[in-house]
Amino acid sequence: MEHTPSDQIDRVKAPEENFTGDVEFGPLSNVEPDGLNALEVHFQPGARTDWHRHPNGQVLYVLAGEGLVQNAAGERVEIATGDVVYASPDELHWHGASAHSHMSHLSLTTGGATQWEPRKVTDEEYDGPTS
């Protein structure tokens, strides 16, 4: 058994190369090759990932705040505390905080590293369709 007290979780700033805005990771698991990768991810308002895929999909569980998830097919959902989103294997998508709220989610993946597209989420994409 391994116990990590909350104040000993090693939070690190997410790289600007793959994210827009202020984002922090808190790794919750020791990742073996092809093992479970569990991360707490904290987004400040307006912060988001770049477009990306996960080889075996991804479970997102919202711990706090409000945010957005969108895929390349144009599906777009608003998420809030307690919501769960599943991104299918290789589904191109992004996620982040809403413009007016921080957002923290748990990310659960297996199957190795995130596959990043060389593509930021533009402000136009982030703001979404206007009706």
Q: Which residues bind Mn ion (CB under 5 A)?
A: 58
Q: Which is nearer to Mn ion, 92 or 99 (CB)?
A: 92
Minimum distance between the CB of residue 95 and Mn ion, rounded to whole angstroms? Answer: 6
Minimum distance between the CB of residue 101 and Mn ion, rounded to whole angstroms? Answer: 19
Q: Which is nearer to Mn ion, 58 or 70 (CB)?
A: 58
Bridge-based pairing of strands 58-71 and 23-27 is: unpaired
Minimum distance between the CB of residue 107 and Mn ion, rounded to whole angstroms? Answer: 7
Name the residue with the smallest CB distance to Mn ion.
58
Structure tokens at 2: 């391994």
Identify any residues that bridge with 16 across adjacent strands, giving them in sequence order. Answer: none
> Dihedrals φ, ψ of 123, to 5°?
-60, -35
Structure tokens at 45: 């308002």
